[in-house]
């Protein structure tokens, strides 16, 4: 079943939708429940469009200034490194998570005005590690920053080495038996690699000996 839409004239700027004077097509529910009750939009007409001409011109000027400001900010932000200290257990699993608002606040402290929704987390951050975070104002205004999530206390290295995470950043909790099997498999793999390397060295030495005899 097709979703019903309606065309409206924006009489105020609406984030992620348009600026005053734009005629937009939106879902009927969004129009009824949000835009119309808040007097952000109305039914379009030539008269209403004409009456909003001056307000639209001012909005376009403001948008152009904002675009230039953000472009300069993006240039400075690209490659920026931020550090957040968080409480965690002995294997680096956070008590809670790092949110978009946390990153936006850290950027604000560094002198960059960014809204939480403009921070794009790759997944829920629940562990001590380094992460690439996308800050996106629009399709042509984005930067990638490096986020270092560090423990707020010293963690023993032996504990840190035991940490394993899946592709979504979730901590993999293994039973003692599973840990033992994983270590045995790792040891077997190292032994196999060492054996392969030794065989390669032996073949190389034999080849050199044949060459010397010739």
CATH number at residue 84: 3.10.430.100
Q: Is residue 66 part of a domain?
A: no
Residue 194 tokens, joined = 């060492």
31 within a domain of the structure (yes/no): yes
98 and 152 share one domain: yes
39 within some domain: yes
Predicted local confidence at residue 165, as pLDDT: 57
Range of the domain at 146: 75-161
- Residue 146's H or E segment, with its range, is strand 141-151
Query: pLDDT tens digit string along 110-158?
Result: 999 999 999 999 999 999 999 999 999 988 899 999 999 999 888 766 5
27, 86: one domain: no
3-class state of residue 147 by DSSP:
strand
> Is 21 inside any structural domain?
yes
Give the C-alpha separation, 99 to 119, whole Å: 9
Weakly modelled stretches of the chain, pLDDT under 70? 1-3, 156-183, 186, 194-214
Q: Is residue 178 part of a domain?
A: no
Residue 146: beta bridge partners?
81, 132
Same domain assignment for residues 45 and 82: no
Question: What's the total number of domains in the chain?
Answer: 2
**What gap in Å lies between CA 97 and CA 142, rounded to an integer?**
24
Q: What is the pTM of this model?
A: 0.64
Alpha carbon of residue 199 to chain centroid: 46
pLDDT at 192: 73
Per-residue pLDDT, 58: 96
């Amino acid at each position: 079943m097709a979703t019903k839409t309606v065309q409206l004239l924006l009489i105020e700027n609406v984030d992620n939708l348009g600026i005053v004077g734009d005629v937009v097509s939106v879902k009927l529910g969004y129009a009824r429940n949000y835009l119309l009750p808040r007097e952000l939009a109305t039914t379009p007409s030539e008269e209403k469009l004409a009456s909003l001409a001056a307000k639209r011109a001012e909005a376009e000027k403001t948008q152009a200034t904002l675009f230039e400001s953000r472009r300069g900010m993006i240039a400075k932000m690209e490659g920026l490194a931020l550090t957040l200290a968080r409480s965690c257990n002995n294997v680096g699993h956070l008590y809670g998570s790092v949110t978009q608002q946390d990153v936006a606040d850290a950027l604000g402290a560094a002198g960059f005005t960014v809204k939480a929704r403009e921070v794009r987390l790759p997944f829920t951050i629940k562990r001590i590690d380094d992460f690439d975070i996308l800050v996106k104002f629009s399709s042509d205004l984005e930067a990638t920053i490096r986020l270092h999530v560090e423990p707020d206390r010293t963690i023993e290295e032996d504990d840190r080495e035991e940490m394993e995470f899946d592709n979504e950043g979730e901590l993999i909790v293994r039973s003692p038996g599973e840990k033992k099997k994983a270590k045995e498999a790792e040891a077997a793999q190292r032994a196999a690699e060492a054996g392969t390397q030794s065989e390669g060295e032996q073949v190389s030495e034999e080849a050199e000996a044949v060459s010397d005899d010739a």
